[in-house]
């Protein structure tokens, strides 16, 4: 799956969700997806900017999380997902993974 498609899917879900109250950066293999939810809306880009929370995983793992084939807690415990920074923001991601 291309990063452009991932960004588009995240933006579609983000448009329907309340702002997350901070910024989240996904590092997906060689690509970056940045979600800035600090304003009136969630803005999704491919910009590699600083974020309040950084989530590192693979595109494959992200797809398994989004489809429900992988439990988020098990992914973190098993080392498939690494989270640094504001854990509270990571907990708000369910609405954006859609």
Question: What confidence tens digit (pLDDT) does each residue in 6-56 have?
Answer: 889 989 988 998 999 999 999 999 999 999 999 999 999 999 999 999 999
Question: What confidence tens digit (pLDDT) does each residue in 55-78 have?
Answer: 999 999 999 998 899 998 899 999
**Helix, coil or strand: residue 10:** helix
What's the 3-state SS for 12-32?
HHHHHCCCCCCEEEEEECCEE
CA neighbor of 33 nearest in space, from 12, 54, 60: 54
Domains and their CATH numbers in the chain: 3-97 (3.30.1050.10)
Residue 94 has pLDDT above 80, yes or no: no
Q: Where are the beta strands (DSSP E) in 1-98?
A: 23-28, 31-36, 43-45, 53-57, 82-85
């Amino acid at each position: 799956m291309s990063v452009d498609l991932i960004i588009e899917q995240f933006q579609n879900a983000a448009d329907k969700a309340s702002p997350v109250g901070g910024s989240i950066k996904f590092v997906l293999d060689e690509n970056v997806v940045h979600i800035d939810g600090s304003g009136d809306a969630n803005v999704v880009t491919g910009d590699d900017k600083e974020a309040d929370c950084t989530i590192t995983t693979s595109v494959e793992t992200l797809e398994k999380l989004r489809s429900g084939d992988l439990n988020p807690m098990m992914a973190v415990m098993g080392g498939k997902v690494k989270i640094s920074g504001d854990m509270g923001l990571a907990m708000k991601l369910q609405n954006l993974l859609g």
